[in-house]
Structure 1
């Protein structure tokens, strides 16, 4: 009987160790973090106050469905955008895997080109920000920053 108890305890310990080894991993794909986004937001790289948007709004804004993604692919994110005075924005989109993030990066490239075309006559002073935007994919994340100080954003990202 003692042997069975010891075997049961050993099996439970192995299971706990296996679960602990898996905890905190996001598919093994490191990426940008919400903390980095907050640091960028607080850095003074933006000339306008940015409003926070939800992921559903970002989904529609960046036309991710048209790019071939499903809504379930976008698992989390933080999105800040000017209310309209400027083209400034800061977005971190977190996807289910790096393949979805890569597809989304293409959609955001198309979004930036559309913004350039739509604002060329309307807000020509914003075009340099759009043309110099930071758009990066790392792991299962995509980061977009349209700001007045691209070098500062890039320095914060390393």
Structure 2
């Protein structure tokens, strides 16, 4: 039941992040009005989903960090991104990546799932207390938008996002 609730709340969070704004000069391919912005990421932070302050990462760094080129993506395919992550004390992070197509977003999902698996392996001995967060990481796709969430409190993240859009 808990996994179902977490998945349902994650879907609600992803729906609030469904349409990315065109900060890179490109328009949202879905034609939807921009629902996603820094304020939604900040609302997840404000909800207490993370145990520490996270730092913003630019889109170019995120593209390299998640090794998206290894999955056949080019930096130009990712027209918007908002990424915050721990400076090193924890494995917590949140990324919303927007692509030109659903097919590209699917490739990014595969990259992010492999990234999380790699984080689990890398942190088993180094930060074993972080493993449950990584094992519960959310990687979801909605159309051309992909969400990665590694949080201390997943319910706070999802509930806050739900209330911020209702």
* Cα offset, 1:139, TM superposition: 1.5
For the 8 Å contact 1:32–1:143, the answer to whether it is kept is no
1:28 corresponding residue in structure 2: 30
- How far does the alpha carbon of each residue in 1:5-31 deviate from its partner, in whole angstroms, 9 at most, with x for none? xxxxxxxxxxxxxxxxxxxx7222769
Residue number in structure 2 paired with 1:117: 121
Q: Which residue of 2 aligns with 1:150?
A: 154
Q: What are structure 1's unaligned runs of at least 5 residues? A: 1-24
Does 1 or 2 have the higher relative contact order (CA < 8 Å, sep 6+)?
Answer: 2
What TM-score comes out, normalization by structure 2 length? 0.75
TM-aligned CA distance change 1:88 to 1:32, over 3 Å: farther
User: Structure 1 residues 115, 29: CA separation in 2 closer, same or farther (over 3 Å shift)?
Assistant: farther
Q: Hey, what's the Cα distance between the residues in 1 that align with 2:119 and 2:44?
A: 22
Partner Cα separation in structure 2 for residue 29 and residue 130 of structure 1: 34
Residues matched between the structures, number: 135
Is the contact made by 1:32 and 1:142 (CA closer than 8 Å) also made in structure 2? no
- Alignment RMSD (CA, Å): 1.9
* Bigger Rg, which one: 1
Note the residue ranges of structure 2 that are not aligned, 5 or more in a row.
Answer: 1-26
Alignment of 1:1-150 (within 5 A): 26-28=28-30, 33-34=36-37, 35-150=39-154
Query: How far apart are the structure 2 equivalents of 1:145 and 1:32?
Result: 18
Q: TM-score, normalising length from structure 1? A: 0.78
Q: Say whether the 8 Å CA contact 1:98–1:139 is kept in structure 2.
A: yes
Q: For 1:81 and 1:53, locate their aligned partners in 2 and report how far apart those are by CA, in whole Å.
A: 7
**Conserved? CA contact 1:74–1:95, under 8 Å:** yes
Q: Which secondary structure does the structure 1 equivalent of 2:120 belong to?
A: helix
Q: CA deviation at 1:125?
A: 0.1
| Residues 72-128 of structure 1, C-alpha deviations (whole Å, 9 max, x = no match) | 111111110100000000111111111111110110000000000000000000000
Q: In structure 2, what is the Cα distance between the partners aligned to 1:26 and 1:70?
A: 17
Runs of 4+ that moved beyond 3 A: 29-32
